[in-house]
């Protein structure tokens, strides 16, 4: 269950939510389709439900014995959305293959590795293919087309427009908005990593994604937030494509983030715009350097 542990926990929690509204669970294939996971994962979920005395499982009959309680759920920090799990597994495959144009991605193998259904994997790949980085081939195969300089320039141009708009909205958030507390936590992690940069510089890429997603969410614009999912995949992983001078590059980016965060907390629009533009300029240069 190691590879699909997070998938299992996320799907288990969602199954409990479904269970709270019914007296019996559907068949295994139906439950798998509903949760977007494999039949193996469905059986693991049902086994745990039976162990917790949530259901009575007699072959095809799965009767709900009691309503789930808060203690039955896995903690939220132990789960990720299925989309996040698929994204990470997809990018691990890309990076393991050196992100070389022409490398093949098999959706059946990827689904098996994650422990989820092929439908969820296919939906992710179709969505990702809109940007021209991968192309569908017959027999469940996809081909990586490559990451060009022109693509990177177009992507950064859109990212900069969206982030400047989002940063301007962030400073207008009320003082009691939860985004400010999350920003405080993110700032603390930045300082912790910088204090031990030699050992923790590799943690920057995930922190980078967390910080910029927080900024983009403040836009309250569904199109900006949706597009950022794709932007994040590219910018999150380009730090791993280009390993040259990673420590120094990440240390500089952490300092830029702290200046950006200070500007956001100042609520001064001009300071925010300057800090945002300065950091995005560095991010663009780093991304371009990662392209052969």
Residues of the chain with CATH 1.10.10.10: 6-77, 81-144
Q: How confident is residue 251, by pLDDT bands cut at 50, 70 and 90?
A: very high
Average pLDDT over residues 272-282: 94
Average pLDDT over residues 245-271: 93
In CATH, what class is 6-77? mainly alpha
Class of domain 81-144: mainly alpha
Does the pLDDT of residue 235 top 70, yes or no? Answer: no
User: Helix crossing, 246-266 with 269-289: angle to 10°?
Assistant: 160
What does pLDDT average to over the chain?
A: 82
Tell me the CATH architecture of domain 149-290: Up-down Bundle (1.20)
Among 34-38, 168-172, 211-215, 255-259, the range scoring the smallest mean pLDDT is: 34-38
List, in sequence order, the alpha helices (H) in the chain: 5-19, 28-35, 39-51, 82-96, 107-114, 118-129, 149-170, 178-195, 197-200, 204-217, 222-241, 246-266, 269-289
Q: What is the pLDDT of residue 279?
A: 93
Q: Pick 209 or 291 by higher pLDDT.
A: 209
Q: What is the mean pLDDT of residues 67-84?
A: 75
d(CA 116, CA 108) in angstroms, rounded, equals 10
Higher local confidence (pLDDT), 114 or 156: 156
Tokens of residue 257, six digits: 């983030």
Flag whether the pTM goes above 0.85. Answer: no
pLDDT band at 46 (very low <50, low <70, confident <90, very high): very high
Kindly indicate the confidence band of residue 153, based on its pLDDT and cuts at 50, 70 and 90.
confident
Calculate mean pLDDT across residues 81-102: 68
* Rounded percentage of the chain residues whose pLDDT exceeds 90: 29
Phi, psi of 161 (to 5 degrees): -60, -45
Q: Is the pLDDT of residue 26 over 50?
A: yes
pLDDT number for residue 134:
81
How many Cα neighbours within 13 Å face the side chain of 109?
A: 9
pLDDT average, residue stretch 156-184: 92
Whether 1 shows a pLDDT value over 50: the answer reads no
Residues β-bridged to residue 24: 63
**79 band by pLDDT with thresholds 50, 70 and 90:** low
CA–CA distance, 11 with 9 (Å, rounded to integer): 6
Residue 157 has pLDDT above 80, yes or no: yes
Instruction: Give the pLDDT band (50/70/90) at residue 238.
Output: low
pLDDT of residue 77: 55
Percentage of the chain lying above the pLDDT 70 cut: 85
Confidence bin at 3 (pLDDT 50/70/90): very low
| In the chain, ranges of CATH 1.20.120.530 domains | 149-290
**Average pLDDT of span 150-163:** 86
């Amino acid at each position: 269950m190691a590879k699909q542990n997070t998938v299992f926990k996320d799907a288990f929690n969602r199954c409990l939510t479904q269970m709270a509204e019914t007296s019996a669970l559907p068949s295994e294939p139906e439950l798998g389709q509903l949760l977007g996971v494999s039949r193996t994962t469905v059986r693991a979920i049902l086994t745990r439900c039976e162990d917790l005395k949530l259901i009575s499982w007699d072959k095809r009959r799965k009767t709900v014995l009691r309503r789930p309680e808060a203690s039955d759920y896995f903690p939220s920090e132990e789960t990720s959305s299925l989309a996040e799990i698929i994204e990470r597994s997809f990018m691990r495959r890309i990076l393991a293959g050196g992100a070389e144009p022409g490398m093949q991605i098999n959706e059946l193998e990827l689904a098996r590795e994650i422990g989820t259904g092929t439908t969820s994997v296919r939906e992710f790949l179709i969505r990702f293919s809109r940007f021209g980085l991968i192309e569908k081939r017959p027999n469940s195969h996809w081909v990586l087309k490559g990451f060009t300089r022109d693509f990177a320039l177009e992507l950064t141009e859109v990212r900069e427009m969206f982030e400047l708009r989002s940063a301007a909205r962030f400073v207008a958030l009320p003082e009691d908005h939860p985004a400010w507390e999350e920003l405080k936590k993110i700032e603390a992690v930045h300082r912790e990593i910088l204090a031990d940069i030699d050992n923790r510089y590799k943690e920057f890429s995930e922190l980078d994604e967390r910080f910029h997603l927080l900024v983009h969410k403040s836009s309250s614009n569904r199109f900006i937030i949706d597009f950022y999912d794709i932007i994040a995949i590219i910018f999150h992983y380009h730090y791993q494509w280009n390993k040259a001078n990673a420590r120094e590059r990440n240390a500089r980016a952490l300092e830029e983030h702290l200046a950006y965060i200070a500007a956001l907390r100042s609520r001064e629009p001009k300071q925010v715009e300057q800090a945002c533009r300065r950091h995005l300029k560095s991010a663009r240069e780093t991304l371009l350097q990662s392209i052969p």
